[in-house]
Amino acid sequence: MKRLLLLSAALAPLFIAAVWIEPTKRTETLSASEVIAVDGDTIDHGDDRYRLVGFDAPETFRAQCEAEKALGLKTKDRLTEIIQANGYVELEIEPELDKYGRFLAIARAGGKQVGSILISEGLARPYSGGKRQAWCS
């Protein structure tokens, strides 16, 4: 009994630490040849889908108007071009999935955030959650 109490006392801090330690982000580098741009802010790699965070791109599948769809396709093509030109994309992946089951990740190619590039080119907008602005006027 004494031995069990000692063992319990020794393991308790480890259990508490395991419960209280928050999951951390992980980083992965994906080859450009293995990445498919779904739209301007979403990519696929194998069976995994990643929502790229920090920006919002126009929709391609559920566009509210033809102008949004056209800009969305242009943004998707540009995202593909950025990744292909660098040969890879580095993802800083959040530990939790979004409500659609996608991984959330900050994407970098050539050391630059992909979202910042698309925003600077007028193909995306800064976005950190909440209600998104419409792309149609």
Sketch the domain layout of the chain as residue ranges.
Answer: 24-127
pLDDT of residue 1: 59
DSSP-derived secondary structure letter, 21: S
Q: How many CB atoms lie within 10 A of CB 101?
A: 9
- Domain 24-127: state its class: mainly beta
Question: Residue 34 pLDDT > 90, yes or no?
Answer: yes
Question: Residue 109 pLDDT > 70, yes or no?
Answer: yes
pLDDT band at 7, cuts 50/70/90? very low
Q: What's the mean per-residue pLDDT of the chain?
A: 88
Q: CA 20 to CA 129: how far, in whole Å? A: 26
Q: What is the pTM of this model?
A: 0.81
19 against 106, higher pLDDT = 106
- Nearest 5°: the CA angle 91, 25, 39 is 35
Terminal-residue alpha carbon distance, the chain = 74
